[in-house]
Amino acid sequence: MVKAYIPVLLLMGFVVMNAVLMLGLSALTLRSRPTPDKQIPYESGITPLGNARERFSVKFYMVAMLFIIFDIETVFMIPWGAHYKQLSCSAPLVNGSCATANVSFFGLGEMLVFMAILLVGYIYVWKKGALQWD
């Protein structure tokens, strides 16, 4: 099981090495002649007013929070999806398929309950205007 992950580590190491090499190469051939004018943030040629680290719209925080809720819900659905065939069969699967007599509503019913609870939250968020962007 652990063996399967070794290639990923190898690949990550290799990509990091590549990144460092390319940045290093460009640093070696670097011709750095900084002037005060060059180091002003480029804002369409207009001298920047103040700092960029200012307050920004609360909408972005809202989206981030909603994302966490709905993304966790997606994560809950993935194992359900992968095991759905077994969940909708009251007997163990034979060759990955279920005998007609054993088909059960259990898997779908559970997910419908989960989705119904979620839907209440979704409608609440929608009606509160959290999804409205203007």
Partner 1 sequence: MSELLLLQVANPQVVASSTGVFLIATLVKMLVVFTLYMVGVALLTLAERKISAWIQDRHGPNRVGPHGLLQPAADGLKNIMKEETYPDAAYKPLFILAPAMAFLPALTAWAVIPFASPLPTRWGLIPMVVADLPIGFLFILALTSLGVYGIVLAGWSSNNKYSLLGGLRSSAQMVSYEIAMGLSTIPVLLLAGNVTLSVIIDQQAHGLYNILNLTIAFFIFMVAAFAETNRLPFDLPEAESELIAGYHTEYSAMKFSFFFIAEYANMVTASALMATLFFGGWDIPISGWENAAPYTVLKTVATAAMFAAKVMFFIFVFMWIRWTLPRFRYDQLMSLGWKFMLPLALGYIVVIASVMLGLDASGIEYGPLYGLALFGVNLALVMILFVMVDHGRIISPAYGRLDPRELEKLRAMRQRSTLARRPDARAPVGPPKAARVTGGTP
Binding mask 52-91 for partner 1 (x = CB under 8 A): xxx-x--xx--xx-xx--xx--xx-xx--xxxxxx-xx--
CA proximity to 102, closest of 85, 89, 86, 93: 89
Q: In angstroms, what is the minimal distance from the CB of 87 to partner 1? A: 10
User: 103 by DSSP, 3-state: which?
Assistant: strand
Q: In angstroms, what is the minimal distance from the CB of 83 to partner 1? A: 7
Is residue 21 within the footprint of partner 1 (CB under 8 A)? no
Report the residue from 25, 91, 113, 117 that binds partner 1 according to the rule CB under 8 A: 25
Query: Which two three-digit tokens encode residue 59?
Result: 């909408």
Is residue 51 within the footprint of partner 1 (CB under 8 A)? yes
Q: Where are the alpha helices (DSSP H) in the chain?
A: 6-28, 59-82, 84-87, 106-128
Residues belonging to the chain: 134
Is residue 103 within the footprint of partner 1 (CB under 8 A)? yes
Is residue 39 within the footprint of partner 1 (CB under 8 A)? yes
CA–CA separation, 24 vs 16, rounded Å? 12
Q: 43 or 124, CB closer to partner 1? A: 43
